[in-house]
Amino acid sequence: MQKFHKSLLILVLICGQSLLAGCSGIREDWDESDEKLTAGIFLDSDERAVLPAGMELRPIYDEGLSVTKFLEGFREMPYNDAARFCTIAYGHLIKRSRCNGNEPEEFRNGISEPKGARLLMTDMERAQIAVLTMTKVPLTDGQYAALCDFVYNVGTGNFKKSSLLSVVNKQQFDRVPSQFRRWAKANGRIIKGLKIRRENEIELFFDGLGVPRAVPEADEDLSPIDIREGEVR
């Protein structure tokens, strides 16, 4: 993890206190509030998947949770994300409408970071179940954590239909980085924060293994994917 932590430190030093508030490139008029997106896990169907009998929920190791916390960023008070949904802490969705002072009392005056961390762990359970039930091959702690972060961000339905899941299940790990990088759009445009997130997920997926540099296959689709629309094959 030393290399991974070093890369995070470099990003922090380059971008300042908020990873997504100071990076340059892509859009000159970029603003952090434009890119604070509702996690796709909250936009899935209300029907929650369950683990098969006898299967236990695999925890996400500390390094993986740290990456998700780092990428989501903590806010103690309710705020409106880019979709104008009322949100708090590490991207926890309070309601699918603007904050107006009528939020549940437990959130109205803000929450502590430890409570926000507990909310995140509960929210991540849907992503964990999706990864456990949809992947068919053994995963390292880093691979599991990276996929959980990805599912938290794009949603379980998008993950289920993704080429990323397909190449993972075929153990074509050399194709994983390019498939991660496709998920960089939201609402029709490339999002800087998503590009940064994908690179962090790639490093986490290959923690201790080294990121492969594969030549794309001739028929491999590498077109950008909008996380709000999902992959069309």
- pLDDT (tens digit, 9 = 90+) per residue, 108-165? 999 999 999 999 999 999 999 999 999 999 999 999 999 999 999 999 999 999 999 9
Give the integer Cα–Cα distance in Å for 35 and 109: 24
Q: Which amino acid belongs to residue 3?
A: K
Residues facing 93 on adjacent strands: 87
Q: What are phi and psi of 146, to 5 degrees?
A: -65, -40
Active site residue 72: yes
SS3 state of residue 66: helix
Q: Which of 35, 44, 81, 201 is catalytic?
A: 81
Q: What is the DSSP string of 83-143?
A: T--EEEETTEEEESS---S-S-HHHHT---HHHHHHHHHHHTHHHHHHHHHH--S---HHH
Give the integer Cα–Cα distance in Å for 40 and 222: 21
Show the tokens assigned to 94. 């309070």
Model confidence at 22: pLDDT above 50 = no
- pLDDT at residue 71, rounded to an integer: 93
Residue-wise pLDDT tens digits, 152-209: 999 999 999 999 999 999 999 999 999 999 999 998 999 999 999 999 999 999 999 8
SS3 state of residue 152: helix
Q: Would you list the domain boundaries of the chain?
A: 2-205
- pLDDT at residue 16, rounded to an integer: 37
Show the tokens assigned to 97. 């409408």
- pLDDT at residue 107, rounded to an integer: 97
Q: How many CB atoms lie within 10 A of CB 204?
A: 27
Q: Which of 72, 203, 226, 231 is catalytic?
A: 72
Show the tokens assigned to 197. 């997130």
- Position 213 confidence tier, pLDDT thresholds 50, 70, 90: confident
Q: What is the CATH number of domain 2-205?
A: 1.10.530.40
Q: What angle in degrees, to the nearest 10, is found between the helix axes of 2-15 and 62-72? A: 10
SS3 state of residue 189: strand
Quick one: CA torsion of 82, 232, 207, 57, rounded to 10 degrees?
80
Give the integer Cα–Cα distance in Å for 125 and 151: 10
Model confidence at 9: pLDDT above 70 = no
- Mean of the per-residue pLDDT values for the chain? 85
Q: What angle in degrees, to the nearest 10, is found between the helix axes of 192-205 and 2-15? A: 160
Residue-wise pLDDT tens digits, 43-99: 887 667 789 898 999 999 999 999 999 999 999 999 998 888 999 999 999 999 999
- pLDDT at residue 74, rounded to an integer: 95
